[in-house]
Each structure stands twice: as structure tokens, then as C-alpha cells.
Structure 1
Amino acid sequence: MRETRRRHVLPVLALLAVMSFNLLAIGQNGRLAHEALLLVASLRQNDPGFQGRVFIAEPTGARWQAETKVPEPQAKALQAMGAEILPFENKVFGQSYPYGNKIEALAALPDEPFLFLDTDTLVLSPLSQIPFDFARPSASMKREGTWPKIELYGPSYAEIWGSLYDRFGLDMAPTLDLSQPQDYWQRHLYFNAGWFFHQSPRAFGERFLTWAQAIKAQPPEPLILQELDPWLDQVTLPLVIHSFGGGRPGPELAAMDTTATCHYRAIPLLYAKESDRAVEVLESLFEDKALRQLVKEYEPYRRLVLQRHGRKARALFDQNDLPAREQVIRNTLKREGYWLR
């Protein structure tokens, strides 16, 4: 029995060891260029065996009035770590909806399995050991009930989401989490777009873009009172994932947003509420003199990491008893002078 089990385990470990896919993040002038450096540096530090290509997609085109190009020093540093700067043209969204970058960039990728990560993410342990099933897409569940906002006497969650599934000829019933109450937001499929994956960026991106445009241009009647900016990507994403046979991440993806990645969104929030491991990884990256020189003028890094004010911000919160609402954390950080972006 022991020998049989050993023969079964070894092929699984071998499969995990050769798991290969491309990584996509967005980079451009300003904050995202700095975050891209930390993302790629954390990948190289904590997943040295990663075999895929790393693309930092750089938006271009007339729909941007501001400079979008990753500055040359940061671009060279990213390339030295093996990342590829991938220019792509914003043909639809551009500066009017920056979250559309993650949708439009997919068309520029090689048509191979991919994992998208928001740039404000750290890699904490090997991504290449996570058994992604790229034929069954999924996305981050690190989210709050941000959309839709239910109005008094207005449409219910079921009516709002149902109208979207009907719009694209989808069956909503299989997406429902029946363990949740009838009129509660978590009953419905809803993701944070901080990470998602699929086997074909071309097919996934084309549908993502087409459906996002359609929702924005002609929202179903139950959505008339709903804000779609900045939520359009997260409104569309569940529909696209379901249409490709995907859904909520299973236990095999439990490391995402926990032990493998940290989508921190802002350095003050990382210090306030993320794991000790995330803080350790962040601070360890700044031990590299070359990286430190590139980012030291960026105020959140200079004050919170290099001058150690982040540790003082962290001391304001009991990590075992954090406020239930993130807004309370943000307000505390602002009041104490630690809210830097």
C-alpha cells in the first residue's frame, strides 16, 4: 500500500513542478511602474522556478492624454528580472476607464494559458506549484459587496444579476451559492478582478471586451440606477467566467490571496491588515540596493518602508481583531497621517 501511494504521489509532484503559464500585469508611468517592480521582484524571490513569460503590459494610444510609458530606469530593471514590456493600444477605454487596461491587454498576449495579477500584488510563495485548471477559469474572492447597491423599492440582487445573465443567454441558476440567504449579495457570483486566469487570452479577452462594451452602452433596465464606474470589469467578469465553464475557485486555489499572493491595493493597507509574511516579503525586497534606488523617491515606500513608519501604522491595529469594515481602517490611517498613495 505504501509503495502504491508513493507511485501515485510522485507523478502529481512532477506535474506541479512543470506547471507553466504566462503572467500578465499592467505597468505604466507613475505608481504602477513602482508596483510592477515589487511584483516581479517578489515573483523572482519566492518562485525562482517559474517557467512562464512575465508580461508587463503598457497602454498606449490616443485615448490617453497623460504619459503612459514605463520610465526607462524601471523598464530596464523589469527586463533585467526577465519581464517583457508589452505595449498595447487602448482602442476602447483608455484614460476614461483605466480598469479597462486589464481587458484590452489580453489581446496582446500570446494565445497561451495566462494568469492576470493586479500590479499591486506580492508573490509570497510559488505560483508554479498551484494546480490551476486553465480550462475552468476563476477569479479572486477577496471582495466585498460593492456592487450592486440595492435601492429602496428597486430591483433585487436576483433581478439585477438575472437581467445580465439573460442578456447574454446564460443560465444563472448554476452560479448561485444556495448556502447563502435568498436576497444576499454572496448568493451571486461576484469576484474581485485582482486575479483571474484562462487557457486562451484571445477568446477570454474578446468576450470580456465585447460584453463590457455592451453593458456600458445598453445596460439592462434593472441596472438603470446602478453605477458602472468603477465596477464595470467586476460586473462583466462573472458572466465571462461562467460562459467558459468556470466559477468560484475550489480548495486547490486556496493559496491565492492567502499564502501565495497578497493583493494589498495600497502600502498603508498592507501594513494595517495583511499577513506578517506579506510585510516580511515587502521589506525584504528593499534590501536590494538597486531596487531601493529606483523606488526611494516614491513617498509611500520612502516613509512607510524605508523610514519604518509602516510598522508604526501596523501597531495601531490588533491583527487578530481587525475592524469589520475596511473604511474604519482607512479612516484611522488617514487620521494618523499614514494614508500615503
Structure 2
Amino acid sequence: MRKLIVITLVLAGLWGGYWFIGSKATERAFGAWIADRQSDGWVAEVEDLSTRGFPNRFDTIFTGLELADPDTGLSWIAPEFQILALSYKPHHVIAAWPGKQIVSTPEQRIEISGSNVKGSIMVAPTPALTLERSSIVLEGVEMSSSAGWTSALERGQLATRQLEDGENRHEIHFEAANLTPASSFVHSFDADDLLPPVFEGVTLKANVDFTAPWDRAAIEDARPQVSRIDLAELKAKWGELELWLAGTVDVDDRGAPSGNVTVKARNWRQMIELARASGALAPELVSTVTGALQFIAGLSGDDETLDVPLRLSGGTMFLGPIPIGAAPVIRIR
């Protein structure tokens, strides 16, 4: 019995020493990373950095964190940010963003708050810390921009997983309930009271190829860019309008997409009205587009349901043979 007690005390002392050394090493590593960013010309400040959680956790708390990348003009301010990890599994962490954050770009400053914003992130246990999988929970999120728009999300979840069947390919799954889009978008056509202000549900399932891994260099140097999107499903319900999209597009080094996407729409005439009211569709094209799409919808035997290819080419979107506007530029700042 005495030997068992001695062995237990020795093991406890060894574990306590491991935790103490590990916690100090964690603090030094994060402190060195911030110092390296300062050397690279970033704004990188933290009021306090401490690691807690003895005996089984390395819970690192950043207080008064501010990061700004001079190359992209992106900045992030968080009164508190938490990185929580099991001491025996430090490459699998929980990240939590309590309180309000501020994200700024050269164009605008966005205040973000949420009742529950946290993520589970697993990286490869290598110096590069390549992202393997992640899951982020979003509840009660509200956003307010200096550009004059607001947005909100009742609840949502984003999950990613690195795939082995392609270089830098990630499976992405996003679901949201009661998503309020940016008020500036809604105001572009709300004079006509076309749709309610909230998306009842949005679902996205896609495999996305990137130009580089999502690892330490993605934060420290430059963000990887999208090179290909294999969209299995993008589904949204917005009032009486139901949309479903699927297809594959390639993205060039300028962010211009090219490819074909199938668009299915229930109560599709509202989609035409939205495009007209927002200015995406020129008034002189409304009757032409409506007549063409009515003909296409009639081929399926249901005038209210549209099933038509959306083609992206040369910076322009074509719905069937009809150009309907500029294609979006897909760039990650």
C-alpha cells in the first residue's frame, strides 16, 4: 500500500511538472508569435496572456487582443479570446469568442456579437499546424457595419474537413436558421415589399479547392484563394421563394468564376422581381427574361417551378442564353 501511495505521488508530481512546463511553453509560443507579427510590421498587441486549467487542460486566455495585417488592411479586435485544449491533446482546441469583436477592412468596420460563438478546431501535430477539420457554432449573432448595414443570425453551424482525394481540398457544410441578410441588400428592393426580411433556412454543401493549405502561413503570410468549387447543394427558403443550386465552377487567379450551375426555383417570378428591384436586371430586359423563363418552366409541366442552367463566363452570368449581370468576384482578403 505504501508503495502504491509513493508511486501515485511520484506520478502526480511528474504530471504537475509536465503541466507547469507545458503551460509556460504555451504562453511563450503565443507570445513569440505576437512578437514575430510585430517584427513583420503588424499591429499585434495583447494586454494579458495567461494559461490556466491545471491539471488536464491548457486554457489560454487573451485579453485586449488586437491584430492588424498591413498587407491586406484586415484587423481584428477582441476584448477576450480563448483557446482551450486538453493537455494530452494540444493539437485539438476549442476556440471561444465571448463578448463583442470588431473586424475591419479597408472599406468598413464591422462589430460582431453573439450569445454563443465557439469552434472546435483540429490541426496536424506539425510545426505548420495545417487545418484538418473544424466545427463552429453560431448562436444569437448580430453584426453592424460602419457602411450602414446590419445583419443577424439566430443559429448556425459551419463544419469543414480536409479531404484526401485532392490537394488542399476541403469539404464544407453550413446550415443557418433565421438568417437576416445585410439590411443594405434588403433595402435595395424593400419598397416593393417583395419578401420578408429573414431567410427561414440556408444550407450549403460543397467541396472547395484552395491554392495553398490552411495553416500558419495562411494567417501569417497570405490567405489561400479558391480555385474550384464543387457545389453539391445550396438551398435557401425565403418567404414563398425556394432556391436550390448545384454545379461546378473554376476560379482563376483574378477571382473570376467560370462553369455551370443548375438553378431550381419555386415561385421564380419573385426572383425576377428581386433582380429588377435591386438593379441587377435592367428594366428593358424584364419582359424578355420573364418570357424566356416562363417558356422553360412550362416545359417541366409546372409554371411555378424553374429548372435552368446558370452559366458563368467572361465575368458575366447567363441564365440560359440571357446575360443577367456581372459574375461575383471570389477573393479572400
Structure 2 length normalisation: TM-score? 0.26
Q: Which structure has the bigger radius of gyration?
A: 2
Q: Higher relative contact order by CA 8 Å / sep ≥ 6: 1 or 2?
A: 1
TM-score when normalising by structure 1: 0.25
